[in-house]
Amino acid sequence: MNHAAILDEQRSDSVNPLALYVHWPFCVSKCPYCDFNSHVRDAVDIDAWRDAIIADLVHEAALTPGRPLSSIFFGGGTPSLMPPALVADILAAADRHWGFAAGIEITLEANPSSVEAARFGDLAAAGINRVSLGLQALDDGALAFLGRAHDVGEGLAALDVAQDAFDRVSFDLIYARPDQKLADWETELARALAFGTGHLSLYQLTIEPGTRFSTLAAKGELTIPGGDEAADLFETTRAMTTAAGLPAYEISNHARIGEESRHNLTYWRYGDYVGIGPGAHGRRGKAASERHKKPENYLAAVARNAHGIKAEADLDPATRATEALLMGLRLAEGVDLAAIAADSGIAQGNLIDARAADQLAALGLLTRDGTRVTVTEAGMILLDAILPRLVAI
Amino acid sequence: MTDLSHIRNFSIIAHIDHGKSTLADRLIQQTGGLTEREMTSQVLDNMEIEQERGITIKAQTVRLNYVANNGETYELNLMDTPGHVDFAYEVSRSLAACEGALLVVDAAQGVEAQTLANVYQSIEHDHEIVPVINKIDLPAADPERVRTEIEDIIGIDASEAVLTSAKSGIGIAETLEAIVAKIPPPKGDRDAPLKAMLVDSWYDPYLGVVILVRVIDGVLKKGLRVKFMQAGTEHLIDRVGCFRPKIEQLPELGPGEIGFITAQIKEVAQTAVGDTITTVVRPAAKALPGFKQVQPVVFCGMFPVDAADFEKLRESISRLRLNDASFSFEMETSAALGFGFRCGFLGLLHLEIIQERLTREYDLDLITTAPSVVYRIQLNKSRTDDAREIMLHNPADYPDPSRIASIEEPWIKAVIYTPDEYLGSILKLCQDRRGVQKDLTYVGGRAQVTYELPLNEVVFDFYDRLKSISRGYASFDYEQIGLREGDLVKMNILVNAEPVDALSMIVHRGVAEARGRHMCERLKDLIPRHLFKVPIQAAIGGKVIARETIAAMRKDVTAKCYGGDISRKKKLLDKQKKGKARMREYGSVSIPQEAFIAALRMGEE
């Protein structure tokens, strides 16, 4: 069975899945490549945060009644720094207010340090059944460059603990690092695949604005592989993961069949998700919401309003359809134009540029099968150039 | 009215930067035309562009009242003429209004080619030339060498040349005396039928069209019904006056005098330079000699960068044309650049001036296509059409080659004046541009070389190349010498096998390949990579003469995109789509507008 067939089957399980994202914004230190909403604080008042996050959760639950959660994801920041009891309390509140769908996936992002590995058992006991480990590299020099506190030995030890403690384990690697040769990456990736996890997130290093790396790049002190080199690295990655039985189901995500991140699939399939915690985004029906980013502002907002929303607005049909396309086309399964048309009210023929679609198909970058449009293996690497041509809205 | 014997009409001949405007300013100041407070530097060059570039575009006159050393008061009419060959005809009419000229030569730089051309013209008008050696207080000044140069090169007596520093006010009184003493007074008959030459004209928002005139015979007065003999139109004069340089109304202008008239004329186009003005009652028997209808010689397309600005461009061009009848325009459409205008100019400087005024005064963002010249094409008889002659202004209108019997292109005679050390490179440049050497002479450390060149080679960045290889020391002047047959072909640029109209050009077969290769290489760098490889070809008819290929894009994808990234990604997509709207599609290839601008930009090799 291929990805698409499996995913279709999963989809039929819960017709209207609801995903919950919980953002824990604190880190021990800030990594030079990371532009996520993360903050370093000397002390964190756990009780205050428990109250705030749960209040925020209650607010959202009231707006989405009768919809059991199909997945929960603790992201950050560094959510593995959360006390397991706090995780347990939040999960209990979620269960109380929404209820869990059968086979719920509950993921937590974790740093592969010995300190955090020591808590994996408690986190599992609290209800976490999947972890995503920020291993990032299997090379000590690269880990130091990426500003990570752990070394390879410590990271692999944590991976071991995680594989014992949790049903499902994934880990992240960052590749296309400065001066990384194709042969080196092949060796590193082969080693990574041998650990036998069912899921891998493999990201090409991207220089994000507002990070230390972007300052270095602007000064000319940091260059990452570009053009042909980056393309070779990408293609090799896909070939090797496919050969190992973990083909890409999304641009940077690889899994054994059935081991895909259901939570992230909700984003890419443009399903509904609730986002709570600082800076979290949500899509609830037509409404898009965004929480206050700065931890202190978030706490103050919850104290004032009993929720952390900074802005909330209904998205117009064109925006919803566009978002559905740009997220969905990242997936190997592609998008169903009929579904997007039904949700947005925009006619199928007006969603994509038919002439561009024909040209892209002739170039082998796109396939159309009935109402389904899929970017091909060859097209994925060019997705950002394809989208502005294809999307007609 | 001043008695003929007390009138002096003169112009000032000078190379750019040799101090013409400063000297004029001093003469005005010394004779009290303006108080110290009213003097802005370069009083005569009103237009912003004139002041910036130090050039004169429109002719102007100033009347000075000068009390000479002999105690008599003289009326000096200073005619400031355009200094550039693009305006050669206007210059000739301004010169025809004078009896003499001050030849201003920089005491350090010496005689330049442009000066020469104007001096010869002035001599042709039988002018008395008064040499003025200016900037004598510069450290590099060498008045004696320049004096010899004037005598050797120009062949006029410079022994009594006036030594000045207009900037420091040295020699101004002597200059005024020399004007009175050396330049002959005009001739004329007050009682003969009116004969006045239309020297130049411009549009003034308060006065309507203001006409500069030189009265030859008879008298111009307010209320007089006059006839423009070439245009065949009649007008009622409602103002007569002169500039000092402030406008001043006068009861009349008599023979020998220079001044202005207005006659409630709305468009400059109705006032042809060189026309003869006479009275309706008792008209002159014959018009003045030398009248010519000026024709644009250099053409280019002008398109708004933002298509929404088309109407604004139309309005601005129309308004400019009100004041400059020598440039022409008609609507043009280009698949690449949208709606715009095909404009004709007297030369490259004229083109640049109009372009700059549109950009600056009318705040328009413009794309200007490569300048081209006018070709005369003889067409063979076809089944549906007789043999006939066409004038081709736009490469896009190039006819079916099988019908072409012959093509003729305009040629020029160019005089280049350069320090010796650059001569080799300049000769090579001229040879590369299909030049035919006619003359080469040396004077001191300088060479004067005369070439006949096809104008289409000159409009293609010749002047910029000349400046760059001579580090700005070579000067260049040209006159048109008529049409000559040439082996000319239309070269198309094809992007992904589709011709790009805005980039096609007419070239000589001998240089087509080099030109084509250059254009392909340039475009290869200017057009971004696409999802597929893009061939760029230069072709003559079906034959490809140069080719480059833009490799297909390899990778363009965002690594991370989760729930919180959607809004940002959507904004990025909107931006990309907006960027795409500013591109032009050719054979499914999106060419950014900047690529057209850069590919067409003059003066880059």
B-chain residues within 8 Å CB-CB of A21? 563
| Cβ neighbours of B560 in A, within 8 Å | 203, 206, 252
What CATH number does residue A40 fall under?
Answer: 3.20.20.70
Is B127 annotated to bind ligand?
no
Was B204 annotated as part of a binding site? no
d(CA A281, CA A37): 11
Chain A residues lying within 8 Å of B569, measured CB to CB: 326-327
CA distances, B102 to each of B53, B70, B99, B183, B306 (Å): 21, 21, 11, 9, 48
pLDDT in the model for residue B267:
85
Instruction: Give the confidence band of B476 by pLDDT, cuts at 50, 70, 90.
Output: confident
pLDDT over 90 percentage in chain B: 50
What local confidence, expressed as pLDDT, does residue A384 receive?
95
pLDDT, position B35:
61
Asked if pLDDT for residue B605 goes beyond 80, the answer is: no
In this structure, is residue B308 part of a structural domain?
Answer: yes
Same domain, A363 and A254: no
Cα separation, B341 vs B251, whole angstroms: 44
Q: What is the CATH number of the domain that holds B532?
A: 3.30.70.2570
Question: Token pair for residue A237?
Answer: 């990655």
Domain encompassing residue B25: 4-182
Is residue A365 within 8 angstroms of chain B, CB to CB? yes
Q: Give me chain A's average pLDDT, please.
A: 94
Q: Is position A290 within any domain?
A: no
Q: Where is the domain boundary, A246, A268, A290?
A: A268
Tokens of A130: 């999947």
Domain of B403: which CATH number? 3.30.70.240
Nearest CA in chain B to A271: B563
CA B103 to chain A, closest CA, distance in angstroms equals 57
Range with the poorest average pLDDT among B150-154, B438-442, B582-586 = B582-586
Say how many domains are in chain A.
2
Q: Cα(B264)–Cα(B266) distance, rounded to whole angstroms?
A: 6
pLDDT value at position B58? 62
| pLDDT confidence tier of residue B57, bands split at 50, 70 and 90 | low
Per-residue pLDDT averaged across A365-388, rounded?
96
Query: Residue A369 burial by CB count (10 A; 0-12/13-18/19+): exposed, middle or buried?
Result: exposed
Reported as a single tens digit per residue, the pLDDT across A34-82 is 989 999 999 999 999 999 999 999 999 999 998 999 999 999 999 999 9
Last residue of a domain, one of B160, B182, B204: B182
Query: Do residue B325 and residue B256 come from a single domain?
Result: no
Could you tell me if A220 and A351 lie in one domain? no
Write down the pLDDT at residue B116.
75
> Higher-confidence residue: B395 or B84?
B395
Q: Would A81 be classed as within a structural domain?
A: yes
User: Are A234 and B531 within 8 A, CB to CB?
Assistant: no
**The amino acid at A44:** V
Decide if pLDDT at A252 tops 50. yes
B17 annotated as ligand-binding: yes
Q: Looking at the complex, does the CB of residue A228 fall below 8 Å from at least one CB of chain B?
A: yes
CA-to-CA separations, A145 to A109, A191, A203, A289, B108, in angstroms, rounded = 21, 20, 16, 35, 63
Percent of chain A with pLDDT over 90: 89
Tell me, what CATH number does B332's domain have?
A: 3.30.70.870
> Are A248 and A367 in the same domain?
no
* CB-CB contact of B242 with B61 (8 Å): yes
Check whether residue B152 and residue B45 sit in a common domain. yes
Same domain (yes/no): B356, B389: no
How far is residue B372's CA from residue B355's CA, in Å, rounded to a whole number?
15
Q: Could you please report the per-residue DSSP string of B351-385?
A: HHHHHHHHHHHS---EEEPPPEE-EEEEEPP-SSS
The interface residues of chain A toward chain B in range 136-165, judged by CB-CB distance below 8 A, are none
Residues B598 and A301: their CA atoms lie apart, in Å, by 53
The alpha carbon of residue A158 and the mean position of all alpha carbons in its chain are separated, in whole angstroms, by 21
Q: Is the pLDDT of residue A112 over 80?
A: yes
- Asked if B409 and B522 sit in the same domain, the reply is no
Rounded average pLDDT over B9-29: 85
Give the count of Cβ contacts less than 8 A between chain A and B: 94
pLDDT-derived band at B15 (thresholds 50, 70, 90) equals: confident
Q: Check whether B275 is labelled as a binding-site residue.
A: no
pLDDT at A378 over 60: yes
In-domain check, residue A311: no
Location of structure tokens 């991207």: A206
Asked if the C-beta of A389 comes within 8 angstroms of chain B's C-beta atoms, the answer is: yes
Residue B187 inside a domain? The answer is no
| DSSP-derived secondary structure for B104-120 | EEETTT---HHHHHHHH
The number of domains in chain B is: 5
Among B226, B247, B279, the domain boundary falls at B279
Are residues B47 and B130 part of one domain? Answer: yes
Q: Out of B276-290, B528-542, B563-577, which region has the weakest mean confidence (pLDDT)? A: B563-577
Whether residue B20 is found in the same domain as residue B97: yes
B165 shares its domain with B16: yes
Token pair for B119: 């001096």
Q: Give residue A5's pLDDT band: very low, low, confident or very high (50, 70, 90).
A: very low
Run of H or E including A241:
helix A227-243
Strands B543-550 and B534-540, bridge-based pairing: antiparallel
Boundary residue ending a domain (B486, B521, B545): B486
Number of helices and strands in chain A (H, E): 17, 15
Put simply, the answer to whether B561 touches A386 (Cβ < 8 Å) is: no
**One domain, residues B25 and B159:** yes
Higher pLDDT, residue B588 or A129: A129
Whether residues A25 and A142 fall in one domain: yes
- The answer to whether residue B231 sits within a structural domain is yes
Alpha helices of B160-288 — where are they, by DSSP H?
172-182
B596 and B465 fall within a common domain: no
Task: Determine whether the annotation assigns residue B22 to a binding site.
Answer: yes
Q: What is the pLDDT of residue B10?
A: 96
Among candidates B554, B564, B570 on the partner chain, residue whose Cβ is nearest the Cβ of A322: B570
Which residues have C-beta within 8 Å of that of residue A111, sequence separation ≥ 6? Answer: A78, A80, A81, A133, A134, A149, A150, A158
Query: Are residues B250 and B341 located together in one domain of the fold?
Result: no
Comparing B470 with A357, which gets the higher pLDDT? A357
Burial state string for A226-246 with b = 16 or more CB within 10 A and e = fewer than 16: eeebbbbbbbbbbebbeebeb
B602 pLDDT above the threshold of 80: no
pLDDT score of B128:
94
Q: Which residues of B touch A384 (CB under 8 A)?
A: 556-558, 576
- B134 labeled binding residue: yes
Give me the residue from B555, B559, B564 closest to A382, CB to CB. Answer: B555
Residue B114: the pLDDT is 67
Q: Is residue A55 part of a domain?
A: yes
Are B148 and B260 within one domain? Answer: no
Q: What are phi and psi of B245, to 5 degrees?
A: -80, -5
Q: CA dist B496 to A35, A390, B591, Å? A: 40, 20, 11
Query: Tokens 């006065």 correspond to what residue?
Result: B207
pLDDT-derived band at A32, boundaries 50, 70, 90: very high
3-class DSSP string for B278-343: EECCCCCCCCCCCCCCCCCCEEEEEEECCHHHHHHHHHHHHHHHHHCCCCEEEEEEECCCEEEEEE
Q: Do B125 and B266 sit in the same domain of this protein?
A: no
In a domain, A44, yes or no: yes
Q: Is the same domain home to A27 and A147?
A: yes
- Put simply, the answer to whether A206 touches B558 (Cβ < 8 Å) is yes
Q: Classify residue B123: in a domain, yes or no.
A: yes
Residue A14 pLDDT > 60: no
Rounded CA separation A97/A18 (Å): 13
Say if A294 falls within a structural domain. no
Residue B104 within any structural domain of the chain = yes
Q: Helix, strand, coil proportions of chain A in percent (round to 5)?
A: 45, 20, 35
All residues at 6 or more sequence positions from B601 whose CB lies less than 8 Å from its CB, including other chains: none
Residue B48 — pLDDT band, cuts 50, 70, 90?
Answer: low
What are the E-state strand segments in chain A?
A: 18-24, 69-76, 100-110, 130-136, 168-175, 199-204, 248-250, 253-255, 272-276, 281-284, 287-291, 309-314, 335-336, 366-369, 372-375
Element (H, E) at B216: strand B208-217
Q: What global pTM score does this model have?
A: 0.67
CB distance from A376 to chain B under 8 Å?
no
User: Are A246 and A374 members of one domain?
Assistant: no
Question: What counts of helices (H) and strands (E) characterise chain B?
Answer: 14, 34
Residue A167: pLDDT band (50, 70, 90) is very high
Which among B554, B577, B579 has the least Cβ separation from residue A228?
A: B554
pLDDT of residue A298: 97
Evaluate whether residue B588 is within a structural domain.
Answer: yes
Q: How far apart are CA A361 and CA A377, in angstroms?
A: 12
Is any Cβ of chain B less than 8 angstroms from the Cβ of A323?
yes
For residue A261, give the DSSP letter.
-
What would the two tokens of residue A285 be? Answer: 């029906």
pLDDT band at B529 (very low <50, low <70, confident <90, very high): very high
Domain residues for the domain of A376 are 334-390
Interface contact A381-B556, CB threshold 8 A: yes
Cβ-nearest to A227 among B531, B555, B569: B555
Report yes or no on A286 lying in a domain: no
Tell me, yes or no, whether B316 lies in a domain.
Answer: yes
**B90 or A232: which carries more pLDDT confidence?**
A232
What is the distance between the alpha carbons of residues B448 and B442, in angstroms, rounded to a whole number?
A: 6
Q: Which residue of B has its CA nearest to A279?
A: B564
> Domain boundary residue among A268, A303, A325?
A268
**Which residues of chain A does B531 touch, with a Cβ-Cβ cutoff of 8 Å?**
360, 363, 365, 382, 385-386, 389
pLDDT bin (cut points 50, 70, 90) of residue B576 is confident
Do A264 and A349 fall into the same domain? no
Residue A36 lies in a domain: yes
* Mean pLDDT calculated for residue range A151-177: 97
